[in-house]
């Protein structure tokens, strides 16, 4: 049976942090994300604590309740309160759970969550060579903003980074009240 048919999506709890760190570290090892060093459990706890009901972490869990993928909303330009309506999106699956529809499930849920919670835009960065990520984002209607040349340094070499965005509610956003759509 397709893994996506038996999976369920729910808000992550602190008990999922171990599995999430494992998924992060698989993405890091495969060089598909913006870190080179593996994350520790301590890092995972700190990262999870920075999220809340609005800047959510969702997990895809299998029939045994084990998280094999997550999607999260991160603060975008956290130092500027004028960006309260924009979240940076992250989505990663365990290697054994990829290409079976889970990313599509998670992306749909995190987008619904973002709309319900007053975000008017999602932004995401990926590597131009990451075909899976680009395909998923294209399916969800993300627009390529552009490519930063020689942006990150991975394994001692510059890599280009693609920036994408999706407007969620451009026509219904009340200026002057970030984070609270009409
Ligand atoms: C990228 C990722 C989130 C996609 O989730 P997924 O569950 O594997 O994707 P889905 O099965 O829902 O498929 C979505 C689309 O992407 C395509 N796709 C997924 N992985 C692919 C790959 N490695 N190469 C080419 N296409 C791929 C699927 O064919 C599908 O396209 P289609 O519907 O047009 O046929 C997941 O593969 C992953 O976590 N990869 C490793 C980490 C990563 O790249 N994270 C994203 C960082 S921005």
Segments making up each domain of the chain, as ranges: 3-172
* Nearest CA, atom 26, ligand 1: 132
CA torsion sign, 25 to 27 to 30 to 36?
negative
CA distances from 152 to 6, 75, 126, 138, 160 (A): 37, 20, 11, 23, 7
Q: Report the pLDDT value the prediction gives residue 179, as an integer from 0 to 100.
A: 52
The CB of 91 under 6 Å from ligand 1? The reply is yes
**Hey, what CATH class is 3-172 in?**
alpha beta
Amino acid 172: pLDDT: 52
Distance 40 CA to ligand 1 centre (A): 25
> In this prediction, what percent of the chain has a pLDDT beyond 70?
92
C-beta of 94 in contact with ligand 1 (< 6 A): no
150-170 pLDDT, tens per residue? 999 999 999 999 999 999 986
pTM of the model: 0.93
- Cα(136) to centroid of ligand 1, in Å? 6
pLDDT of 5: 84
Strand partners, 58: 11, 71
CA 121 vs. chain centroid, Å, equals: 13
Rounded to 5 degrees, φ, ψ at 170 are -60, -30
* Cα 74 from chain centre: 8
The answer on pLDDT for 146 being more than 50 is yes
The tokens describing 20, both together, are: 């999430």
- Give yes or no for residue 176 having a pLDDT over 80: no
Nearest Cα to Cα of residue 90 among 159, 180, 20: 20
Residue 4 Cα to ligand 1 middle (Å): 13
Does any ligand 1 atom lie closer than 6 A to the CB of residue 138?
no
User: Counting every residue, how long is the chain?
Assistant: 182
Identify the H or E element spanning 131.
helix 131-139
159 lines ligand 1 (CB under 6 A): no
Task: Name which of 174, 150, 145, 176 is nearest 161 in CA terms.
Answer: 150
Mean pLDDT estimate for the chain: 93
User: pLDDT per residue over 101-117, tens digit each?
Assistant: 999 999 999 999 999 99
The CA distance from 162 to 133, in Å, is 11
**DSSP assigned state of 153:** E
Residue 102 Cβ inside 6 Å of ligand 1? The answer reads yes
């Amino acid at each position: 049976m397709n893994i996506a048919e038996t999976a369920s999506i729910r808000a992550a709890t602190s008990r999922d942090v171990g599995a999430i760190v494992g998924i992060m570290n698989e993405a890091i090892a495969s060089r598909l994300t913006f870190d080179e060093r593996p994350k520790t459990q301590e890092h995972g706890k700190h990262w999870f604590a920075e999220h809340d009901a609005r800047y959510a972490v969702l997990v895809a869990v299998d029939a045994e309740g084990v998280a094999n993928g997550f999607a999260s909303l991160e603060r975008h330009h956290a130092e500027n309160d004028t960006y309260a309506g924009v979240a940076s999106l992250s989505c990663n699956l365990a290697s054994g759970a990829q290409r079976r529809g889970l990313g599509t499930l998670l992306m749909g849920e995190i987008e619904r969550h973002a709309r319900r919670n007053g975000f008017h835009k999602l932004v995401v960065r990926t590597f131009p060579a990451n075909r899976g990520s680009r395909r998923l984002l294209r399916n969800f209607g993300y627009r390529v903003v552009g490519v930063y040349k020689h942006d990150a340094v991975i394994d001692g070499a510059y890599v280009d980074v693609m920036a994408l965005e999706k407007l969620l509610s451009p026509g219904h956003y009340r200026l002057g009240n970030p984070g609270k759509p009409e």
